[in-house]
Each structure stands twice: as structure tokens, then as C-alpha cells.
């Protein structure tokens, strides 16, 4: 690849990282933490309004993670395992296709 191609790739990556940084700064609420969403509160209020306060949850969680970090780790771990499976099967079928000569 020529120097110009590497320069274009470098500038594109730098611009993307700058865009992510700017978007991340705008998403914080000034205290350095992300602004919380209101989806849960909205859903609870809508359900309460429809059922006139008579709504009772069907079940309670068997186990709740002790902190948000543990919950994030478990979600990331699950995503990584899924990516490994998808990558393995994609590589397997690509290799199978190359061996068969098609």
C-alpha cells in the first residue's frame, strides 16, 4: 500500500476517534458520569397508569449482580462467547469452501 493510502486510513481512524470522544463528552451530565436514561421510569409509569396501580410483577430475579460493573462484565463475556461461535463457524465454512475448490 502506498504512503497516501496509509495516511488516508490514519486520518479516517483519527477522525472517528475524535467523533467518539466528542459524542462521549456530550453524553455526560457535567459531573463526569453518563446521563441516566428514563426508560425504566417511563415503563413503570405507563404500566401503573394502565392498571390503576394494580399491577404486580410476575416474577422476581433469581440473582441480581452485586454491581453495575459485574453486570457489564457478564454481558461482555456473553457477547465475546457469541462472537467466538460466529467467527468459528464463519471460518469453518470459508475453509470448507476453499478446500472443496468452489
pTM over 0.85: no
Cell numbers representing residue 97 in the block: 469452501
Helix, strand, coil percent values for the chain (each to nearest 5): 70, 0, 30
**Where are the chain's structural domains?**
1-34, 60-102
pLDDT at residue number 77: 97
pLDDT along the chain (102 residues), means of 10: 88 95 71 58 67 77 89 95 96 90 68
Amino acid at each position: 500500500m502506498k504512503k497516501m493510502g496509509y495516511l488516508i486510513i490514519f486520518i479516517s481512524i483519527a477522525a472517528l476517534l475524535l467523533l467518539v470522544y466528542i459524542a462521549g463528552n456530550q453524553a455526560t451530565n457535567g459531573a463526569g458520569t453518563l446521563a441516566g436514561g428514563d426508560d425504566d421510569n417511563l415503563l413503570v409509569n405507563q404500566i401503573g397508569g394502565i392498571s390503576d396501580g394494580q399491577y404486580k410483577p410476575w416474577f422476581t430475579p433469581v440473582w441480581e449482580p452485586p454491581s453495575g460493573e459485574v453486570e457489564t462484565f457478564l454481558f461482555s463475556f456473553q457477547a465475546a462467547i457469541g462472537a467466538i461461535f460466529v467467527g468459528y463457524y464463519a471460518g469453518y465454512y470459508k475453509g470448507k469452501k476453499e478446500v472443496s475448490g468452489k
